[in-house]
Amino acid sequence: MLWLSLAVSTSAIAATPDEELKALREALAASESRTETFSAQLENLDGEIKAVKRKLVKAAGTLTALDQKLVAVERRLDEIRQVEDDTLADLENRNADLAVTLSALINLSRQPEGTLIGNPAGLVESLRASSLLQSILPKLKKDADQLSEQLDTLASLRAQYATEREEFNALRDERIAEQEMLDKLLAEKRRAQEKVMAASQTEQKRLEKLTADVKDTTALISRLEEDKARQLAEEKSRLEREIAERQRQAQKAKAAEEKAKIDLKPPVIKEAPRRLASLGATRHFMDAKGMLPLPVGGRIVTNYDESDNVGHKKGIVIETRPDAAVISPFDGQIAFAGPFRHYGLLLIIDHGDGFHTLLAGMGSIDGTVGQLLLAGEPVGQMKNSSKEKPKLYMELRNNGAPIDPMPWLMAENGKVSG
């Protein structure tokens, strides 16, 4: 509720009493709804923050697409290397077989002419050698043809590898430039949010204390939802008291005016701030089914409800690249950000309507509790390790219970790579 309170108080600074009362009533109506989206709150963000968020979404989208392409190219390079290794191993085996056959043929060719004259034993051996040669020649020709094909394949593989490597290098250089742009935008966003940073840090510490004894993610989300409901009730009570006080003041002023029976000078009305441009129509998470992007550029290697070497999964595992950008798949608000049990760094995004996204496996999180997020906005970065490819764990929950994320993803993303 941190951002909602800031948005309401900011918009009421220069408004008239009637406008302030209207804004309070609208805020009360929003707080009473248990199926709220975050569109309205995003709409009321500071103009500078909103502009930076739009740029971040665009930059992160480009970066995620590049990561996706790089993962695909790296996989093709691995496949080419594997085929090349298999081809070289097969050629090595064929080389050993051919060496024995060729040695026998060379020995046969070295027999001097006339050895068969007056030598019946030599004649028998020569006939056997001739019969053996007739049976070997077709096999030798077949082996020679296969060898020629394998050598052609090897040359083609190496040419393909060179082409793929050039594409990889070009994509990598482009990604470096895009990452620099994203880093600048993230720094700009942090500067724009400095005015609410102290409140965010206070909220982070409060939540850390609130969830210190929680043992698993199900209990964690339940605790967060209980806290959210309590804050909504407190916000509703505060708004109701403020509305009542404003109405009492208005009635008192009206009574004083009628009693005085005097003409007042026209009041100086301060211009109310213009309504900030909407970031888009109000959207519900349910309407995004089948349209969510992967939160990171990569490929799905473990499906929902499958087991891997770590344990049983109630989400999906996405293999990606070192330092890959991680994005929010939909509009929302950061409900939890920080270390949690065996998950390492855990990020929970509240999308409203009882839906949450859980992301784990990142090297860093860029965001604080209470921060509003646009769909596609960067929220973190993967680890940078040369030992193994980093993996992001994604879990989708509805009213606290895990659900299969695959039907919610775009068709081209909802596939498990073997």
Q: DSSP characters for 25-36?
A: HHHHHHHH-TT-
pLDDT score recorded for residue 226: 85
Residue 293 pLDDT > 90: yes
Tell me how far the alpha carbon of residue 254 is from its chain's centroid.
Answer: 57
Can you read off the two tokens belonging to residue 157? 């593989």
Residues 15, 395: Cα–Cα separation, whole Å: 43
Residue 67 pLDDT > 80: yes
Contact 319, 294 (CB under 8 A): no
Report which residue type is found at 366.
D
- Find where tokens 């077949």 sit: 142
pLDDT score recorded for residue 397: 95
- The domain limits of the chain are 63-190, 285-408
Can you read off the two tokens belonging to residue 137? 């020649």
The DSSP letter of residue 285 is G
Residues 320, 35: Cα–Cα separation, whole Å: 34
Residues 15, 11: Cα–Cα separation, whole Å: 7
Residues 27, 21: Cα–Cα separation, whole Å: 10
Residues 365, 359: Cα–Cα separation, whole Å: 10
Point out the least confidently predicted range of 25-29, 250-254, 281-285, 309-313: 25-29
Q: In this predicted model, what pLDDT tens digit does every residue of 33-50 receive, in sequence order?
A: 444 556 556 665 667 777
Region 222-245 average pLDDT? 80
pTM listed for this prediction = 0.65
Residues 254, 236: Cα–Cα separation, whole Å: 27
Exposure string of 21-55, with b = 16+ CB inside 10 Å and e = fewer, is bebbeebbebbeeeebbbbbbbbbbbeebbebbee
Q: How many residues does the chain have?
A: 418
Residues 152, 135: Cα–Cα separation, whole Å: 27
Superfamily of segment(s) 285-408: Glucose Permease (Domain IIA) (2.70.70.10)
**Band of pLDDT at residue 273, cut at 50, 70 and 90:** very low
pLDDT score recorded for residue 35: 42
More confident call, 26 vs 71: 71
Contact 321, 381 (CB under 8 A): no
Q: In this predicted model, what pLDDT tens digit does every residue of 124-165 receive, in sequence order?
A: 556 565 666 666 667 666 766 777 777 788 888 888 888 888
174: left (phi over 0), alpha (psi -120 to 50) or beta: alpha
Contacts of 334 (CB under 8 A, 6+ apart): 347, 348, 349, 350, 367, 368, 369, 370, 371, 373, 379
Residues 377, 54: Cα–Cα separation, whole Å: 8
The DSSP letter of residue 312 is B
Residues 41, 6: Cα–Cα separation, whole Å: 10
Residue 360 pLDDT > 90: yes
Residue 216 CA neighbour count, 13 Å, CB half: 5
pLDDT score recorded for residue 10: 44
Question: Which span out of 6-15, 213-222, 291-300 was modeled with the highest average pLDDT?
Answer: 291-300
